[in-house]
């Protein structure tokens, strides 16, 4: 079931098109990973989806309703974890949650219960009465997430929620995201950390220059790129020129590089040459070790955008 739908969205800032005919669907219960280099349009897309900015053309629907016609009703069911920490420094952790929970219409015992549960979920119960000014970066990030969770949103939009925090807090946040998905929350997650998307997302969308340039599962994305295949070998006897020539003649092999007993073979995408290569080198004395590099999400990204993901780390 699709709960969020963007059709042919265009958003311009002057002559610059931040979103250029973007289509996106988010299915209920999934974690959708959104990747893109600096200026790709990820944050604009999130802001458009959450109703924070008006788009120039196209349709946005959430929970089966048009965003423009039911904006307050839809906002009631969304939680936004902003890229920057957007909590009130002069309210305690509990008061922050009480403020945001109150805006979402929670009152009395229900509000207190939700605040207690949310503080426990982000492990800030013992710091509930403290002002965030005394918190570490990781604790502030957790409170930032808690403020978007207190009303139990159906769709949680997380804009780079782990930027600038220690490994422990980051792992904790990733665990929390998985837990939220188990509880039935649908999550749209943007990050520059490839490993986060690989470990969390059930579907990945890659954006560049305002366009969605690829979407699918990790396996589908990898399959769709024609990426080189690399095989690294360590052989028992140093290869002869005949062995090297035989390797070069294999189907799809583009390059064979050797350094004493180490050989690297680069084949075109889809050649699946491991068996053939092993057959040749076994004949020539045997193999000590073999590794084959499969294309990764990083390769997919690089192939599609011509940039590494880290290029856009500051976004």
Partner 1 sequence: MLLRSVYFALRRMLRGYIGFVILILLPLAIITVNGFAIGDEFVDEYGRTGMEMISIGIIIGFQLVGGFYTMETIKGDLFSENRWRLRSLPYPIYIHAISIVISSVLFNILNGTIMVLFTYWVYGVNWGNIGWAVLVLMFVSIVSQLVFLIAVTVIKKYKIAELIGYAYLFLFMILSGYLFIPIPDIVLIDWINRYINPLTLGETAIIYRMQGLETSEMYLSMGMLIVLSIILTVLIVLLGRRRLT
Q: Identify which of residues 54 and 248 has a Cβ nearer to partner 1 in the complex.
A: 54
1 lines the binding site for partner 1 (CB under 8 A): no
Q: Which stretch in 3-11, 13-21, 102-110, 291-299 sits in contact with partner 1 by CB under 8 A? A: 102-110
SS3 content of the chain, % helix, strand, coil (to 5): 35, 30, 35
Contact 115, 144 (CB under 8 A): no
147 lines the binding site for partner 1 (CB under 8 A): yes
Q: Identify which of residues 47 and 141 has a Cβ nearer to partner 1 in the complex.
A: 47
- The one-character DSSP state at 223 is H
Contact 231, 217 (CB under 8 A): no
Task: State in angstroms the smallest separation of the CB of 82 from partner 1.
Answer: 5
The angle at the Cα of 152, spanning 190 to 159, to the nearest 5 degrees, equals 15
Q: How many residues bind partner 1 (CB under 8 A)?
A: 29
Q: Identify which of residues 71 and 304 has a Cβ nearer to partner 1 in the complex.
A: 71
Cα dihedral value 89, 91, 94, 100, nearest 10? -90
100 lines the binding site for partner 1 (CB under 8 A): yes
Would you give the distance in Å from CA 244 to the centre of its chain?
41
Window 233-272: contact mask with partner 1 (x via CB under 8 A): ----------------------------------------
Under rule CB under 8 A, which residues in 73-92 are in contact with partner 1? Answer: 73, 75-76, 78-80, 82-84, 86, 88, 90-91
Among 20, 25, 95, 298, contact with partner 1 (rule: CB under 8 A): 95
99 lines the binding site for partner 1 (CB under 8 A): yes
Q: Identify which of residues 60 and 280 has a Cβ nearer to partner 1 in the complex.
A: 60
* 186-208 residues labelled b (16+ CB within 10 A) or e (exposed): bbbbbbbbbebbeebbebbbbbb
51 lines the binding site for partner 1 (CB under 8 A): yes
Among 13, 56, 59, 103, contact with partner 1 (rule: CB under 8 A): 103
Task: State in angstroms the smallest separation of the CB of 107 from partner 1.
Answer: 9
Pairing relationship of beta strands 229-235 and 211-216 according to DSSP bridges? unpaired
Backbone angles phi, psi at 165, to 5 degrees: -125, 165
The angle at the Cα of 134, spanning 133 to 139, to the nearest 5 degrees, equals 90
Q: Identify which of residues 148 and 214 has a Cβ nearer to partner 1 in the complex.
A: 148
Q: Identify which of residues 99 and 292 has a Cβ nearer to partner 1 in the complex.
A: 99
Q: Identify which of residues 29 and 102 has a Cβ nearer to partner 1 in the complex.
A: 102
118 lines the binding site for partner 1 (CB under 8 A): no
SS3 assignment for 264-307: EEEECCCCCCHHHHHHHHHHCCCEEEEEEECCCHHHHHHHHHCC
What distances in angstroms separate CA 248 from CA 146, 281, 292, one per listed residue?
57, 12, 17
Tokens for 11, please give them: 């958003």
50 lines the binding site for partner 1 (CB under 8 A): yes
Question: Residues interacting with partner 1, by CB under 8 A?
Answer: 47, 50-52, 72-73, 75-76, 78-80, 82-84, 86, 88, 90-91, 95, 98-100, 102-105, 131, 147-148
């Amino acid at each position: 079931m699709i709960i969020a739908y963007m059709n042919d969205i265009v958003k311009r800032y002057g002559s610059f098109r931040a979103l250029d005919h973007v289509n996106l669907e988010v299915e209920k219960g999934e974690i959708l990973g959104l990747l893109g280099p600096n200026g790709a349009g990820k944050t604009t897309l999130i802001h458009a989806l959450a109703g924070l900015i008006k788009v120039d053309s196209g349709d946005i629907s959430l929970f089966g309703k048009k965003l423009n016609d039911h904006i307050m009703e839809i906002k009631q069911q969304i939680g936004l974890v902003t890229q920057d920490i957007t909590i009130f420094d002069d309210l305690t952790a509990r008061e922050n949650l009480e403020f945001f929970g109150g805006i979402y219409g929670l009152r009395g015992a229900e509000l207190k219960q939700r605040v207690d549960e949310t503080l426990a979920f982000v492990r800030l119960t013992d710091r509930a009465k403290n002002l965030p000014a005394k918190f570490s970066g990781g604790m502030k990030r957790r409170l930032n997430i808690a403020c978007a969770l207190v009303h139990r949103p159906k769709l949680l939009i997380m804009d780079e929620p782990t930027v600038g925090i220690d490994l422990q807090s980051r792992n904790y946040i990733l665990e929390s995201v998985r837990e939220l998905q188990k509880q039935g929350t649908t999550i749209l997650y943007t990050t520059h950390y490839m490993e986060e998307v690989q470990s969390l997302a059930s579907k990945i969308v890659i954006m560049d220059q305002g366009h969605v340039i690829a979407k699918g599962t990790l396996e589908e994305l990898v399959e769709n790129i024609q990426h080189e295949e690399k095989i690294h070998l360590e052989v028992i006897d140093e290869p002869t020129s005949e062995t090297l020539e035989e390797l070069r003649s294999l189907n799809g092999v583009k390059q064979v590089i050797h350094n004493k007993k180490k050989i690297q073979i680069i084949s075109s995408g889809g050649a699946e040459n491991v068996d053939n290569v092993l057959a040749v080198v076994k004949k020539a004395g045997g193999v000590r070790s073999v590794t084959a590099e499969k294309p990764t999400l990083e390769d997919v990204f690089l192939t599609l955008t011509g940039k590494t993901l880290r290029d856009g780390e500051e976004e």
